[in-house]
């Protein structure tokens, strides 16, 4: 596997941005093309206590090594916000194409 690269940042509801990484081994429209670190997931879930975040990152690492991914619900055990259970409709435009265009300096707005 080729080492992932820092792709950009993603805003969180808490006023900070977290890093987004790119997996160069898969096409840009693949589900695993972009990813966040465990620490970034904790920030997005609202786990601000350093000890809780450390414990969450450790558990996420254990689960991800065993399964290849982790369920977001793990974060609620460490003070993260609940996961909304509303169905989300399909996007009008695929987000990966917009991310690629944005990184290339192209406009991502539609007329």
43-79 pLDDT per residue, tens: 989 999 999 999 999 999 999 899 988 888 899 999 9
Q: Collect all residues with Cβ–Cβ distance below 8 Å to 56 and sequence separation of at least 6.
A: 38, 42, 47, 74, 75, 77, 78, 80
pLDDT digits (tens, 9 = 90+) for 72-88: 889 999 999 876 566 65
Residue 44, helix vs strand vs coil: helix
Cα 36 from Cα 70, distance rounded (Å) = 12
- 85, 72 contact by CB (below 8 A): no
Based on the structure, what is the number of domains in the chain? 1
- For all residues of the chain together, what is the average pLDDT? 84
Of 22, 11, 17, the C-alpha closest to 96 is: 22
- 22, 33 contact by CB (below 8 A): yes
- 22, 4 contact by CB (below 8 A): yes
Q: Is residue 108 part of a domain?
A: no
User: Domain range spanning residue 58?
Assistant: 5-103
pTM: 0.67
Q: What is the reported pLDDT for 49?
A: 94
Q: Is residue 110 part of a domain?
A: no
Q: Is residue 60 part of a domain?
A: yes
Q: What is the reported pLDDT for 108?
A: 61
């Amino acid at each position: 596997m080729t080492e992932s690269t820092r792709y950009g940042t993603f805003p969180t509801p808490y006023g900070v941005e977290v890093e987004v990484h790119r997996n160069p081994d898969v096409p840009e429209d693949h589900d695993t093309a972009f990813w966040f670190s465990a620490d970034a997931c904790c920030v997005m879930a609202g786990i601000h206590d350093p000890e809780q975040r450390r414990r969450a990152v450790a558990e996420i690492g254990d689960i991800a090594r065993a399964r290849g991914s982790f369920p977001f619900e793990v974060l609620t055990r460490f003070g993260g916000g609940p996961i909304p259970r509303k169905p989300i409709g399909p996007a009008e435009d695929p987000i990966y194409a917009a991310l690629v265009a944005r990184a290339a300096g192209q406009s991502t707005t539609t007329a």
